[in-house]
Structure 1
Amino acid sequence: MGEYLRIQEMLREGESYAGLILGKNGEPDYHLVLMPDEAVDVSWPAATEWAARREGLLPNRRELALLFANQREQFERVWYWSSEQHETRAQLVWGQNFASGIQTVYGRPFRGHARAVRRLNGV
């Protein structure tokens, strides 16, 4: 319970704790924080810039799955960008539909929504 209280104290106004992302391939675990507000009707480059201006990041695919599981009520039932480009087709980027939970790829010019996250390491 002490760790959860420390995390709650680290949240900024309007942020919410999304959960723990387990490290893979020797990477450390970290806690995911959903930042307030969202960008609407933005291409992937614009979404990436928007998140950076907020001092955050677009969530990766694992983080989007956690957000769908734990913070779905914080999202509209539409499609949101991730930070991950397709492995073999760099013009495509992954995202998640918050109505169905499906993850799929779209071209960078597609107009979607975006949310920013922060990662808390070593809490």
Structure 2
Amino acid sequence: MPAESATTPIVSLASLPPIGDQLEGGAFAGLTSTADGKHVAVVLLPAKAQDVDWKAAMAWAAEQGGELPSRPVAALLYANLKPQLTPRWHWTCEADGASYAWHCHFGHGYQTSSHKSYEGCAVAVRRIPLAA
């Protein structure tokens, strides 16, 4: 997942709303950590895409001001915001070799990979850094 930009807001842990409530233009899904160990709030953005291949899903998510969720973030979305998700499979940002990419089925929660040319759904998330 891309690094946060200088314009990305920073929120304090104490100011986070309950799971599912609005935060910075989307629904607060919970907390996760980046690869470098920083803790971030995950926000599910309201727009949803259907019938897009993986490359188009990646571009669409960027147009929404976010990114496709990683596999762990997709699991977090399923665990915490299932009622807000379409019960179909959705692309993640993670490739599985040159021709495949991972997706998460928001009806069942399982994850597997499919050819990047297949068409599925997509949601976009935004990661918001937490103040120390």
TM-score range, shorter chain: 0.7 to 0.9
Residues 38-53 of structure 1 aligned to structure 2 (within 5 Å): 38-53=48-63
Q: Distance in 1 between matches of 2:95 and 2:101?
A: 4
Q: Distance in 1 between matches of 2:23 and 2:49?
A: 24
| TM-score, normalization by structure 2 | 0.81
> Which residue of 1 is the match for residue 124 of structure 2?
116
| TM-score, normalization by structure 1 | 0.86
Q: Distance in 2 between matches of 1:121 and 1:41?
A: 31
Q: Distance in 1 between matches of 2:130 and 2:16?
A: 13
Unaligned runs of 5+ in 1: none
SS in 2 for 1:2: helix
Q: Distance in 1 between matches of 2:103 and 2:33?
A: 20
After superposing on structure 2, the runs of 4+ consecutive aligned residues of structure 1 that deviate more than 3 Å are: none
1:16 matched to 2:27? yes
Residues 1-123 of structure 1 aligned to structure 2 (within 5 Å): 2-5=14-17, 10-12=23-25, 15-23=26-34, 26-86=36-96, 89-123=97-131
SS in 1 for 2:93: strand
> Which residue of 1 is the match for residue 8 of structure 2?
none
Unaligned runs of 5+ in 2: 1-12
% of aligned pairs identical? 34
Q: Distance in 1 between matches of 2:34 and 2:51?
A: 32
Query: Cα deviation per residue 1:14-36 (whole Å; 9 max; x = unaligned)?
Result: x1000000345x52111100000
> Which residue of 1 is the match for residue 7 of structure 2?
none
Q: Flag the structure with higher strand content.
A: 2
Q: Flag the structure with higher helix content.
A: 1
Q: Distance in 2 between matches of 1:9 and 1:59?
A: 18
Q: Distance in 1 between matches of 2:55 and 2:67?
A: 12
Q: Distance in 2 between matches of 1:78 and 1:40?
A: 10
Letter of the aligned partner of 1:85 in structure 2? A
Q: Distance in 2 between matches of 1:9 and 1:93?
A: 30
